[in-house]
Structures are given as C-alpha cells and as structure tokens.
Structure 1
Amino acid sequence: MTADSRAWTTAWQIARIATAIALVSATAAQFSRTVGNALTKTEAHASHLPTVISNFFSYFTIESNLSSAILLVVAAIWTWTRGRDGRREPAGLSLLLACVSTYMIVTGVVYNILLRGIEDPTTSVAWANEVLHVVGPLFLLADVLVAPRRGALPWRALAVVIAFPVVWAVYTLLRANAITGPATGNPWWYPYPFLDPHLQGGYGGVALYIVGIASAMGVIGAAVIGVGRWRAARTAAERMAAGRLPEERTPIA
C-alpha cells in the first residue's frame, strides 16, 4: 500500500466515523423532539410513551440510519485494525454494508420523491431531517463508489439485501391496526402515507406502492452489488498488470 493510498484509506475511515456520529445525532434530535412533543399532550393516545417510542423505531428511515451508523463504525475499525495489510473486508461485512447502502439510497430517493414537504413540525427537526434523508444516503452512495476495501459479493447476495425490507413491510402492515395513531387518534397507524390503505383507496393502492418500491430496492441493490464486483475486478486486474498478487477478497460467484 502506497503512502497516498494509506492516507486516502485513513481519510475515508474518518469520514465514516464522522458520518456515523452525524446520523446518530440526527436520530437523537428527532427522538428527543418526538418524545418531548408526546410529553406535552393530555390525550391518552398522544401521550402514551411506549406507543410513541415503538412507532419512532418502526420507521424504515430510523432503522436504516442507525444500522448504517453501526456498520460504518465497524467498517472503519476493521479497516484500521485488519485492512491495512491489503485484505478486502470479510464477506459478512461486505454483505451488511451492501444492505445498508441499498436501504439508505432507497430512503433518500423515496423521501425526496414522495415525502418531502409533508413533515410534521411537532416531531421533525429540520437539520436532522436533511441529515437522515439526504446527507446519509449520499454518503452511503459515495461509500459504494469510492470507499477502500469494499469487497465483492455474489449475485445471490441480492436475496439477502431485499429480505429485510420484505420483513419490515409485513411487520408494518400487520402491526398497523393494533396501534392507535398518536397524532390522529385513529385506530390504526402507518409510518408513511403511501402504506395507509385509508389514504390510498384500499390495499390495492398500497400494493402498487410496495411493488414499485420493492422494484427500486431490487434494482438499486443489484447496482450496489454490481459496482462492488466491478471495482474488485478492476483492482485485481491493476495489481496483476503491476506484477503483484491479487488482493485477498470475497470470492465472486
């Protein structure tokens, strides 16, 4: 590893840590605003903290951002402690990074196309909202494109990438009618309006959104895996051309 590549690797790990701190800080700010708002309410449905807190952590955005923060820290630590000898990250870490990268990119796209401008000012913090829906997704996209040591994955890894969103959608739809909406008092609660059959003309309208977002998830997940494979192959070719052994990396199947 040259001095320039070591400096770049170190700089990127610092950026990963800084981004993780920003994501956690933004999540904490949103959480504080949400709980603080609930504490000012007198209605039972609006002030029931267990429901308010469980709803907060049921947002795909929150789950994606917190997972990304954890994985960015883990990836930075691995690179600093194990990746300096030229090895690519282990397959498990590569897979988890591919998952959170896909989820964050989709989060950014869906928010900015479908949800921007409909935030509830009583539970949303403007700067935190931008970090969670713009800064975070853009950094994870950059991590896919330029981060050192990202490993290649087999195409079958796409099934794992899309598994969590499927589970999340099932959980959300099954849970919805068991929850009273804190803001509305309705005997249902959905984290996003495009999942609410009362707003979409029934479950048929919801199904269309789910199919569309699932398709985007599959395409973006495949692109994330494809970029990783291309970068790994290009690096291996460059090392072979320079007369060096290929880097140890996740096998491409």
Structure 2
Amino acid sequence: MDTSGPARSTTGRPALDPRLLRRALLVGRAVVALLILAAIVGQLITSLTFWTQRGDADIPLNVVNFFAFFTIESNILAMVVLALLVAAQLGRPKVGRRFDVLLLCASTYMVVTGIVYNTLLRGIELPQGATLGWSNEVLHLVAPLWMLIDWLVSPRLRDLRWRDLWIVAVYPLAWLAVTLLRGPITPDQAAGDGSWYPYPFLDPANFGNGYAGVTVMCLVVAVTVLVGAALLLAHARWRARSRD
C-alpha cells in the first residue's frame, strides 16, 4: 500500500488530509497512465498514416525508430510505474526498495525529457512523422510535470541511497551508446540519406566539429540526468529524515 502514516510539515502538524491526498494520487496516477497510453498510440497511428501517405518503403523500420525515441521509452516506463503504484494503493503488489529505485529512474527520465524537450527541441519537427499536438504535450509536458509533482507530494517514504544514482545513469548511457552506433547505419527514409538520429543534437552533421559537438551535448544530457536524479533523491531522503 502507498501508506506510511500521515504527511506532516516540519513543525510536526499534518500538512493536509492524507486520505484526500492518497485519493488524489490514485486518480491522478490512473488518469496520467491512461493519457500516456493514448498519447503513444495516437502518435503512432498518426505517424503510420503519414509514412504510408509519403510512400516509405520500410514501414517496420519507421516503427522501430518510433520506439527508439527516449521520450517514448521513458513514457512507457512511467506508464508502467504509475500502473504499479495504482495497483499498490489498491493492495497488490507490495512495493519496496527495488521499486523505489525504479520509480527514481522513471521520475528522473521524465523530468529530464521535459527539460530537454522544452529547452532544446520545442518547435523542431522530430522525425517520427506528422506531430499530433495533444499527444506531444502529454508526452513532453503533462506527464513529466505529473511525475515531478507525484514525487514531491507522495506521502510514502522511499528507501533510497546515494549509490542509486549510478543505477539511474545506466539506461540513458546505454541508450546514447545504442543510438550513436545505430544512427550511421540506419537509413532516413524522409531525407533519403544513410543516417537517422531521433534528435538533432545527436547528429554529427549538425555540428561543425562533428562528433565533438555530439560529445558535448551527450555530456550535457548526462549531467542533467545525474543532477535531476540527485535532487529527487535528496528530496526523498530529506522527507525520510523529517519524518523521524
């Protein structure tokens, strides 16, 4: 269950009605999980229609590329985590430390997705086909904001340690490695050339110094992930200490 006693302020007084908070979290988590699912399916259907009308020769490759976006993968993880939280609030499964680490990963990836998209990529047409407006906002703004708010207000204490930061870093680093290795050998059916990257800042052709520019951007993203995870983890540990 997502319960560990009433939430309290630093003065020891109840911050708000814990039952009302739990109900709001239950409804919010279910709604956002469904919104993420609808947004991914809606964008995929829109993209499939666009690719077909454009006459792309290899639609399955486009589908693989669609699911190669960090945004899509992080939203899928967030959707699964939110569904598990809803199930936990209703009695099963029981969640513990391993889930806390998974939740830290999902929350960090979503917050970073929101930051990177809204600072670097908003207004740029990404190569998934025609963009579905409401889906784009759900995946890049609504869901990241919810994951941040959920992390900050949830009354459940989380069993996290500083070494968990390295676990958070594993997936983004692996994703970057696979993306950079795959990019030069994956054809771009829209541009008709021999390379495809999900985001412009990973394409060496967009930098005068090639892979040096990509390396800088990868370092920026990696630092953003670690800093974001550290802030979320610090907040969770502060909440645990203040409850003692």
TM over 0.5: yes
- Counterpart for residue 244 of structure 1: none
Q: CA RMSD in A?
A: 1.8
Q: What is the aligned residue count? A: 229
Aligned with 1:204 (options 212, 233, 241) = 212
Q: Specify the code of the residue in structure 2 equivalent to 1:204.
A: A
The alignment status of 1:16 with 2:29, answered yes or no, reads yes
In structure 2, the partner of 1:30 is 43
Selected match of 2:227 from 219, 223, 243: 219
Match of 1:111 in 2: 117
Q: Using the alignment, how far apart are the partners of 1:183 and 1:232 within structure 2? A: 51
Q: Which residue of 2 aligns with 1:61?
A: 71
When residues 180 and 150 of structure 1 are mapped into structure 2, their CA distance, relative to the original with a 3 A threshold, is farther
Classify the secondary structure of the residue corresponding to 1:187: coil
1:110 aligned counterpart, secondary structure: helix
Query: How many angstroms apart in 1 are the aligned matches of 2:75 and 2:60?
Result: 21
Q: Which residue of 1 aligns with 2:146?
A: 139
Superposed CA offset, 1:182-222 (max 9, x none): 21111000000000001122000000100111111110011
Judged with a 3 Å threshold, the aligned counterparts in structure 2 of structure 1 residues 174 and 52 are, in CA distance, closer, same or farther, namely same
Q: Could you tell me the percent identity over the aligned residues?
A: 38
Partner Cα separation in structure 1 for residue 37 and residue 155 of structure 2 = 23
- Paired residue for 2:184? 177
Aligned-residue offset at 1:4? 3.3
Cα displacement string for residues 221-245 of structure 1 (whole angstroms, at most 9, x for unaligned residues) = 111111111112212x2xxxxxxxx
Q: What is the DSSP-based 3-state SS (H/G/I as helix, E as strand, rest coil) of the residue aligned with 1:47?
A: coil
Name the amino acid aligned to 2:78. S
Counterpart of 2:82 in structure 1 is 72
Mapped partners of 1:234, 1:10: distance in 2: 23
Distance across 1 between alignment mates of 2:217 and 2:114? 16
2:9 equivalent in structure 1: none
Post-superposition offset of 1:122 = 4.4
* Unaligned stretches of 5+ residues in structure 2: 7-15
Task: Give the Cα separation in 2 of the matches to 1:181 and 1:206.
Answer: 19
Q: 1:195 aligns with which of 196, 202, 224?
A: 202
1 CA distance for matches of 2:160 and 2:154?
Answer: 15
Other structure's SS at 1:198 match: helix
- Tell me, in whole angstroms, the C-alpha distance in 1 between the residues paired with 2:86 and 2:237: 20
Q: TM-score, normalised by structure 1?
A: 0.86
Letter in 2 for 1:49: I
Could you tell me whether the CA contact under 8 Å between 1:33 and 1:125 is conserved in 2? Answer: yes
Unaligned runs of 5+ in 1: 238-253
Correspondence for 2:107: 101
TM-superposed deviation, 1:76: 1.6
List structure 1 segments (4+ residues) > 6 angstroms apart after TM superposition: none
Residue aligning to 1:247:
none
Alignment partner, residue 243 of structure 1? none
Q: What is the CA deviation profile of residues 43-93 of structure 1, one whole-angstrom value per residue up to 9, with x for unaligned ones? A: xxx33111100000000000001110010010121122159xxx9x40011
Q: Deviations over 1:164-189 (max 9, x none)?
A: 00000000011112211121111000
TM norm structure 2: 0.89
Is the 2:51–2:129 Cα contact (8 Å) retained in structure 1? no
For residue 6 of structure 1, report the CA deviation from its aligned partner.
2.4
| Distance in 1 (alpha carbons) for counterparts of 2:239 and 2:135 | 32
Aligned AA (2:230): A
CA contact (8 A) 1:30 1:128 kept: yes
In 1, Cα distance between the equivalents of 2:82 and 2:122? 26
Matches for 1:140-155 after TM superposition, within 5 Å: 140-155=147-162
Q: Structure 2 CA distance, aligned partners of 1:64 and 1:101?
A: 9
